[in-house]
Amino acid sequence: MKILIRLVISAIALWVAQALVDGIDLTAGSTARRVLTLLAVAAIFGVINAFLKPVIQVLGCAFYILTLGLFALLVNAALLMLTSWIAGKLNLPFHVDWFWPAFWGAIIIGVVSWLLNMFVADEVFDRDRDGERG
């Protein structure tokens, strides 16, 4: 249940980012196709963050310390650009033009995800910790 909720939250955050940032494009036609594309891109983004982000954090630990964590903004932008590249290879109609749209998009995705997780974390995630299946 947690994975599905996180997937939907990521998809909503990606949708907000593409709506607010010029250079993040979702060119799917119908509403259903747009939703499916956002869910697929959110899954790609989640897998990339799950596997690559910890490796980058360990290898770039000195940069995180020297920049007081601001290096994370660059890493998040690069991971969003990588997500766009993989989505393109999978023929998904999602594209990030270059660094600055990825930079601002990553900030928006992070803020929106954080806000949405604040609302669902207490209710849903506590039930999962107590052993109930959702």
Amino acid 48 reads: I
At 1 the three-state DSSP class reads coil
Alpha-helical segments (H) within the chain: 2-20, 31-59, 61-66, 71-89, 99-120, 126-129
How does pLDDT run across 60-112, given as a tens digit for each residue? 888 888 888 788 888 999 999 999 999 999 998 999 999 999 999 999 999 99
Q: Distance between CA 117 and CA 128 in Å, rounded?
A: 14
* Average pLDDT of the chain to the nearest whole number: 86
48 pLDDT more than 60: yes
Take residue 37 and report the two structure tokens written for it. 């594309």
Average pLDDT in the 48-61 region? 86
Q: Name the residue ranges covered by the structural domains of the chain.
A: 2-129
Report whether 78 contacts 98 (CB < 8 A). Answer: no
Tokens 């494009």, residue? Answer: 25
